Structure 1
Amino acid sequence: MQDLIKSVVKDMMPPGLLRLLRPSPGPADAWGTVRYGAHGLVLPGNRRFEYRPCPADRSVCRQIFFLREYATDHLRRAREIASFYEACENPLIVDAGANIGAAAVWYALTYPKAKIVAIEPDISNFALLKKNAQAFPSITPLNAAIAARRGTLYLNDPGGGEWAFRTAEQPVEKGYAVEALTLEDVMPASGVTPFILKIDIEGAESDLFSRHCDALNMFPVVMIELHDWMLPGESNSRNFLQWHVEMKRDFVQVGENAVSISNSIALT
């Protein structure tokens, strides 16, 4: 009951007051800090990151900008990952399930020479993603779903809020059609070196990893949220785990995300 009360109070409390009450922050990003402003987050260079006044958007911002859930500098192999990035002329980051663009913007600040492809199927999320990406020319937003095969899928709302829209092969009430693209479709044909593949696609990872795809293993770092907790009895993470074992990569669990790190990480 106490946890429920705390959650309700946090959702009702203004973000600025929440920040004042928050314990002192942990490790900071090299590019600076983020603070709450009147209409969203204030980023270095007085750039703005907008989000809706809803629990889902606030939680996304907290996880990515304040808790740094996509940072790799605390990993045992952090130096290898950093060296790989430094050795790349044009590193590529693919953000599959970009939501309103928080991870894409964090990546743009953290890895300024990287090209970032941010894929988001939901129209309302994509509108904010596109707006937040305007100050970052390195981010290319795509209004589509990532899938094992190109075609058409349907975006359905299971009632979990703005961060829980799910793709399916058949529509339900209030569902609508979205373009499905493969990883190969969204990757530039040449001129880039795959670096990080971030995946948070609400259970659609089962489909994404259902097809053998050489492009997946081209990324030295794959960061993925698995959704067995959300889809009990479906073995939703099985295809990813089988792929990971077959590729002989390191597996590290960091908060909500599984991190799959190539054991041949050096540039070839």
Structure 2
Amino acid sequence: MWVFRFLFTETVRLLRSAEGRRLVWLAFLYGDRPRNQPVDVKFGRYTFRVPDALSFVWQFREIFVDEFYHFSTKSAQPVIFDCGTNVGTSIAYFHQTYPNARIVAFEADEHISAILQNNLKQNQISNVEVITKAVWTNQEGIWFGSDQSDSASIFSETDRKLVPSIRLRDYLLREPRIDMLKMDIEGAETAVLTDCRDALAHVQTMFVEFHAYLNHPQTLAEVVQVLEESGFRYYINTSQYRHAPLINHRYRGNDSMDLQLNIFAYRN
């Protein structure tokens, strides 16, 4: 038995939990679907419209199985800022785990935001303010380009367009306390966090998906410096295993990005 568990550790871990078993079933149902084709996906008590099934399966694993966004709070009504909400999988998790939370959701893509709002309405998820603007350092708009099937980036040159923006710092300063700041904004995180460095004192926990793009500086040190100066402890991991990394420089064979990290920041 120990040999089986050694060889199939990941499968055993997944099958031990209800959400892990659900992930296996979702992967079976939707993992081989053609990319970039809308489909209705059922998970738990929710039914979501998603523009790409495989991307959703990965989201479900990170959010519901690995619980990247789980945090501790003593607040009866925690305040959550969700920057880069996509179609709302993260909102479903927050709503399920913190049913009294007040959530502010930022989504830059107008089409994705429409899907998000419909998903919230169809699943009767309330107390969510959706802002269809990019999180940025000013209100003058920001240029985004498409990048593969499930993301866009400020560094991509493909199908670039100017989208409306908000200055996140202004929104942070309006709140006396923010229990969770989730940030998945595809390359804009370093500039935004640097701009917010004097507005993070009342933020209790953070999740930042860090990206480094080819032919652009790697700015991880700047992000870590902001976190340290703001009094956070942090943990960093990556969702990939890279064989021979000194010669294999690409993130999952990506043509535009060479590093993606998950940064979990918290206060003692």
Aligned CA distance change for structure 1 residues 172 and 252 (closer, same or farther; 3 Å): closer
The number of residue pairs the alignment matches comes to 221
Whether the 8 Å contact between 2:168 and 2:196 is mirrored in structure 1 is no
Residues 41-56 of structure 1 aligned to structure 2 (within 5 Å): 41-44=42-45, 47-56=46-55
Whether the 8 Å contact between 2:200 and 2:230 is mirrored in structure 1 is no
Aligned CA distance change for structure 1 residues 53 and 22 (closer, same or farther; 3 Å): farther
| Gaps in structure 2 of 5+ consecutive residues | 1-11, 30-38, 240-261
Which one has a larger percent strand, Structure 1 or Structure 2? 2
* Cα distance in 2 between the residues matched to 1:22 and 1:262: 29
The residue that corresponds to 2:167 in the other structure is 182
Whether the 8 Å contact between 1:183 and 1:215 is mirrored in structure 2 is no
Deviation at 1:202, TM superposition (A): 1.1
The residue that corresponds to 1:59 in the other structure is 58
TM-score between both structures, scaled by the size of structure 2? 0.71
Whose relative contact order is higher, 1 or 2, with alpha carbons under 8 Å and at least 6 apart? Answer: 1
SS of match in other structure, 2:79:
strand
The residue that corresponds to 2:100 in the other structure is 113
Aligned CA distance change for structure 1 residues 180 and 140 (closer, same or farther; 3 Å): same
SS of match in other structure, 2:164:
strand
Whether the 8 Å contact between 2:179 and 2:205 is mirrored in structure 1 is yes
Aligned CA distance change for structure 1 residues 216 and 41 (closer, same or farther; 3 Å): farther
The amino acid that maps onto 1:161 is S
Aligned CA distance change for structure 1 residues 105 and 243 (closer, same or farther; 3 Å): same
Q: In the alignment, is residue 225 of structure 1 matched against residue 209 of structure 2?
A: yes
SS of match in other structure, 1:157:
strand
Cα offsets for 1:170-215 (capped at 9, x unmatched): x95522221111224445945x631000111111111102225433
Deviation at 1:68, TM superposition (A): 2.5
The residue that corresponds to 1:161 in the other structure is 149
Whether the 8 Å contact between 1:43 and 1:49 is mirrored in structure 2 is no
Which consecutive segments of 4 or more residues in structure 1 shift more than 6 A?
A: none
The amino acid that maps onto 1:262 is R
The amino acid that maps onto 1:43 is G
* Cα distance in 2 between the residues matched to 1:231 and 1:54: 27
Aligned CA distance change for structure 1 residues 111 and 226 (closer, same or farther; 3 Å): same
The amino acid that maps onto 1:157 is S
RMSD: 3.1
Whether the 8 Å contact between 1:90 and 1:193 is mirrored in structure 2 is no
Instruction: Calculate percent identity across the aligned residue pairs.
Output: 21
* Cα distance in 2 between the residues matched to 1:180 and 1:70: 24
SS of match in other structure, 1:215:
coil
Deviation at 1:232, TM superposition (A): 6.4
* Cα distance in 2 between the residues matched to 1:213 and 1:245: 10
The amino acid that maps onto 1:176 is K
The residue that corresponds to 2:140 in the other structure is 151
* Cα distance in 2 between the residues matched to 1:25 and 1:178: 43
Residues 70-89 of structure 1 aligned to structure 2 (within 5 Å): 70-72=69-71, 81=72, 85-86=73-74, 88-89=75-76
* Cα distance in 1 between the residues matched to 2:81 and 2:14: 32
Whether the 8 Å contact between 2:169 and 2:195 is mirrored in structure 1 is no
SS of match in other structure, 1:90:
coil
Whether the 8 Å contact between 1:41 and 1:48 is mirrored in structure 2 is yes
| Gaps in structure 1 of 5+ consecutive residues | 1-20, 73-80, 264-268
Whether the 8 Å contact between 2:197 and 2:230 is mirrored in structure 1 is no
